[in-house]
């Protein structure tokens, strides 16, 4: 016997009338996102094995050579992609559910009662997402340039993963393809960003009245196509960044040998 309808429903953490496996999605998210965070931190911290021949790991791009920075050069640039992903509309959902359990799943009891949402510090800072988006767009062009550089092979060959000085010629290795695929997936993720979609056309009510309205509308529709699969691109690009680094790292360590396609 209960005393009210509220007693029937979620009153404590994990309490629910749901009978499906609601915990699987947040548990998987926590596992995969947590694993990526640990790997990315380690890969950035080591400061070694991030380049091989014309390949450069995305964790270290743009590569800033400096003498005054005592730590790994990755830490100079990772704030931008990290900030973009941390404040991303999709990832917010993912980690609020998986790590903050706020809520862990729909219609399931939460561990905390005091809730401020994103009205107070630190979560009100999620609103800087637009500014990280500007940086992320620049990074797409930088990484695309890295792919271009990954097609420039030394005429005089390589020694121990180091390119011989002198002329370069066009060539494509498996690593070039891996890096290009990474840029493609990152582009789909970045150019489907909610903030970019709003910037392009979301804030326009009357396209026929706005300057370059028709072009903005067409662009907005294109971004919308990507935005509808934002979660897919978010995960695919996360995996591709990690796998690109793994591939280049293994080449640099001599564990695997890159194959020149042509």
Partner 1 sequence: MSEQRRVRLFRGTRERGELKEYAVATGEGMVVLDVVHAIQAEQAPDLAVRWNCKAGKCGSCSAEINGKPRLMCMTRMSDYPADEPLTVTPMKAFPLIKDLVTDVSWNYEVNKRIPAFQPRAPDFPDGTWRMYQYEVERPQEFRKCIECFLCQDVCHVLRTHEKHSAFMGPAMLVRAAVYEMHPLDEADRREHLRHDGGIGYCNITKC
Query: Among 39, 63, 134, 217, which residue sits at the site for partner 1 (rule: CB under 8 A)?
Result: 217
Instruction: Say if residues 103 and 97 touch (Cβ distance below 8 Å).
Output: yes
Q: How far is the CB of 229 from partner 1 (least distance, A)?
A: 14
Backbone φ and ψ of 160, nearest 5°? 60, 35
d(C-alpha 135, C-alpha 186), whole Å: 13
Q: Say whether residue 19 binds partner 1 (CB under 8 A).
A: yes
Q: Which helix (H) or strand (E) holds 108?
A: none
d(C-alpha 92, C-alpha 125), whole Å: 12
Residue recorded with tokens 């965070």: 37
Q: How far is the CB of 24 from partner 1 (least distance, A)?
A: 15
Q: Say whether residue 102 binds partner 1 (CB under 8 A).
A: yes
CA atoms within 13 A on the CB side of 222: 12
Q: How far is the CB of 108 from partner 1 (least distance, A)?
A: 8
Q: Say whether residue 12 binds partner 1 (CB under 8 A).
A: no
Q: Which is nearer to partner 1, 89 or 134 (by Cβ)?
A: 89
Q: Say whether residue 4 binds partner 1 (CB under 8 A).
A: yes
Residue recorded with tokens 């949402």: 117
Q: Say whether residue 209 binds partner 1 (CB under 8 A).
A: yes
d(C-alpha 133, C-alpha 137), whole Å: 6
Q: Say whether residue 211 binds partner 1 (CB under 8 A).
A: no
Instruction: Say if residues 257 and 55 touch (Cβ distance below 8 Å).
Output: no
Q: Say whether residue 110 binds partner 1 (CB under 8 A).
A: yes
Q: Say whether residue 106 binds partner 1 (CB under 8 A).
A: yes
Interface positions with partner 1 (CB under 8 A): 1-6, 8-10, 16-20, 89, 92-93, 96-97, 102-103, 106-107, 109-110, 113, 115-119, 123-124, 205-209, 217
């Amino acid at each position: 016997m209960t005393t009210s309808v509220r007693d029937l429903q979620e009153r404590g953490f994990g309490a629910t009338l749901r009978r499906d496996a609601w915990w699987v999605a947040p548990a998987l998210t926590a596992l995969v996102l947590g694993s990526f965070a640990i790997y990315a931190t380690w890969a950035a911290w080591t400061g070694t094995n991030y380049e091989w021949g014309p390949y450069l790991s995305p964790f270290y791009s743009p590569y800033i050579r400096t003498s005054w920075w005592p730590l790994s050069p990755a830490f100079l640039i990772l704030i931008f992609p990290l900030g973009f992903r941390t404040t991303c509309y999709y990832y917010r959902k993912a980690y609020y559910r998986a790590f903050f359990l706020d809520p862990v799943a729909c219609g399931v009891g939460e561990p905390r009662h005091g809730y401020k949402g994103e009205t107070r510090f630190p979560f009100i800072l999620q609103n800087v997402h637009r500014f990280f988006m500007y940086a992320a767009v620049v990074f797409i062009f930088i990484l695309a340039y890295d792919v271009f550089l990954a097609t420039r092979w030394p005429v005089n060959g390589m020694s121990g993963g180091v390119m011989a000085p002198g002329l370069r010629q066009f060539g494509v290795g498996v690593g070039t393809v891996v890096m290009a695929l990474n840029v493609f997936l990152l582009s789909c993720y970045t150019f489907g960003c909610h903030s970019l979609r709003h910037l392009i056309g979301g804030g326009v009510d009357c396209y026929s009245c706005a300057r370059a309205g028709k072009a903005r509308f067409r662009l907005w529709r294109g971004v919308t196509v990507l935005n509808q699969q934002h979660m897919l691109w978010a995960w695919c690009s996360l995996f591709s960044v990690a796998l690109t680094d793994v591939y280049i790292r293994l080449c640099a360590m001599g564990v695997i040998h890159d194959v020149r396609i042509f």
